[in-house]
Structure 1
């Protein structure tokens, strides 16, 4: 049994293994395996594009939320400017608010990740008796991806609020 790191090289590796003396037969699925690899790669690329689009939408939503907050607090901001507050002193509370909005926004994907992957892991491992597709154990993966999602939410919130506050403070 040979495992390949890059599935694109499956045909070449199968041919090389078949050329080795004393190898009777090489079975790897042929064109159906190549089609499956292509489909999985397309799904991965489509998912990456979808995630980038969702991040951009989240940036705009957080930036607009912070703009609304800035507009409603414009009197307080002008008073802070008259007293002599620096731009960073005014900016930091809005940036913290953006971080919190991003963290709160990442709670739903976190819950879906934790419960959804656990469900998929239990269901799929019981359905598939062969080792064709193996799932990673849920707990180190779920905690690592959860931390990454929370960090991504905080960073998206920080970036969105930074740009909206920066625009307002230039005026």
Structure 2
């Protein structure tokens, strides 16, 4: 129930990185390469959350045309971002990560930019996410992208606290 025009559309975002829509199966092929997802949600949870609601699965691919590593115009999966409608007007950026080999290359920012653009075009006015207190990089990334802390869910260990962040979306004027 994705709201895109074309699930196979790709566009070059930076040297060799392409962002496109993908599938849960592709996300699961990438999860083993993301250390933070040790003990991640099972495939059934993805299917449950994404069924019967507008959603978006984005994949970033690395295509090395110079060294001809990409075969059949397909590249190596570099990262993903999965989100769905939480309630009318609010899009929940649920899961996302970048393969350890492609970190510090702007992949997370490219995926976040594309998700925000899509959410605005789909009529959402708010983007929400939740992260763990132990993921300081994600907290900093989110705050630098204009998210504000909405609430905190305490847990026995401070590292396990969940932090809910929210960002107002507005169309970009060109």
Pick 1 or 2: higher relative contact order, CA cutoff 8 A, min separation 6. 1
Looking at CA atoms only, which structure, 1 or 2, has the larger radius of gyration?
1
Whether TM exceeds 0.5 here: the answer is no
Q: Which has the higher strand share?
A: 2
Q: Which has the higher helix share?
A: 1
